[in-house]
Amino acid sequence: MMTASGQTALLEETRLTAGRIFEPIADELQLVETEFERQARSNIQVIAYIGDHLRRSGGKRVRPALTILSNYAVGGNGSNQSAIRMATVMEFLHTATLVHDDVIDKADTRRNRPSINSEFGNQTAVLMGDWLYMSAFETSLAERSLSILDILTAVTRKMTEGELLQLTLLGRTDISEAQYFDVIARKTAYLFSACCEIGSLLGNATSDQQIAMRDYGMNLGVAFQLIDDLLDFTSSEEVLGKPAGADLIEGKLSLPLILLLQAEPAMRAQIQQVMSEASYHNVTRDSLLEALERTGALQMTLQRAIEYASAAISSIEGLNDSVYKDALCSIPGYIVERDH
């Protein structure tokens, strides 16, 4: 088992900006943008308009990048049609989950822009999310690969289960760490894992390489969500692209709060009050942040993220050295250091 200092040092060694990390596949990511535009075309005007709105709202395209990098890292050709097409499919799946999540969470903004549900209404947003899912599967059929379809159907089921599980836990302050990690694995990590595994399959990976990429994506996805939940307390709306502190208002108990309640059970009433009132009017976000810092809950959450990020890097130690493996090894450090 690597020590905490060893894990931190490993991440320090592999820390780069997103632009630098994705530089080896800059051309391929531009092809993804073109493919996204092509796949989002429709003779139904509202679909074409919303599809273009979603494409332009961007994001860092982490999931397509993982698909392409994984392909190259096992010796494939990440610029070929199949790799670009499936990288775009993974972004479609991710975008569909965001559109549906915003409906469920009644979110008004996404990436500093009006959410689809706030601009077009819940009915249109739900149907657009469905359209994105179906378009992703229709495109993936062109690969004529049962293995890829198995992964896609499994990850879609897992993401839906994660959303349903989270709904059953809304407003509760008695959630265990095991329940929390089960939800984030289903909602976030399985999609990361699927991106990496599909990318490796398209690169004709060996069985060992496929498993390595699957494990890499799973660990990376958990680290990503842990940092996301940390940033919900420590970052700003400008950085997040959505209201800060929104998770608790929506009734979601994340790991920092689970750890806080383990240290100070008396905080349960205040946390419950925020959930019940759906606001920080009587219990301020600053007061909760102070308690999270005082008990070390934020630092412990960060340390968990570092452990998963380090495990991701360890998963792919056996791959041949390349600029693509280097990029994959740099992503965990980038994720852990995101604006906190």
Query: What is the rounded CA–CA span in Å between residue 201 and residue 19?
Result: 26
Is residue 340 helix, strand or coil? Answer: coil
User: Measured between alpha carbons, how far is 24 from 100 in angstroms, rounded to an integer?
Assistant: 33
Q: For residue 15, what is the DSSP state?
A: -
- Residue partners of 163: CB distance under 8 A and separation at least 6: 97, 100, 101, 104, 187
CATH class of this structure's domain 4-336: mainly alpha
Q: What is the pTM of this model?
A: 0.90
- Is the pLDDT at 114 greater than 90? The verdict is no
Cα–Cα distance for residue pair 278/1, rounded to 1 Å: 42
Of 127, 130, 128, 122, the closest CA to residue 105 belongs to: 122
| Beta partners for residue 109, in sequence order | 114
More confident residue, 4 or 66: 66
CB atoms within 10 A of CB 51: 23
Domain locations in the chain as residue ranges: 4-336
Residue whose entry in the numeric block shows the structure tokens 């495990």 = 311
Asked if residues 237 and 244 have their Cβ atoms less than 8 Å apart, the reply is: yes
For 54-74, what is each residue's pLDDT tens digit? 887 767 789 999 999 999 999
Cα of first residue to Cα of last residue in the chain, in angstroms, is 26
CB 330 within 8 A of CB 8: no
40 pLDDT exceeds 60?
A: yes
Neighbours of 154 (CB within 10 A): 13
> Could you give the CA distance from residue 316 to residue 92 in angstroms, rounded to a whole number?
26
Distance in angstroms (rounded) separating the CA atoms of residues 64 and 45:
26
Yes or no: say if 148 and 86 are a contact pair by the CB < 8 Å rule.
yes
- The tens digit of pLDDT for each residue in 180-209 reads 999 999 999 999 999 999 999 999 999 999
For position 46, what pLDDT does the model report? Answer: 85
Both structure tokens of 223: 């680290």
Return the higher-pLDDT residue of 292 and 49.
292
| Alpha carbon 109 to chain centroid, angstroms | 17
Query: How sure is the predictor about 49, in pLDDT bands with cuts at 50, 70 and 90?
Result: confident
**pLDDT over threshold 70, residue 324:** yes
pLDDT given at position 217: 98
Q: For residue 14, name the pLDDT band (cuts at 50, 70, 90).
A: very low
Of 106-115, 261-270, 329-338, the least confident: 106-115
What stretches of 176-281 show up as alpha helix (H) in DSSP? 177-184, 190-202, 207-234, 237-240, 246-249, 255-263, 268-277
Half-sphere exposure of 263 (CA within 13 A, CB side): 15
DSSP β-ladder status, 113-114 and 109-110: antiparallel
Outline where DSSP puts E strands in the chain: 109-110, 113-114
Residue 321 DSSP symbol: P
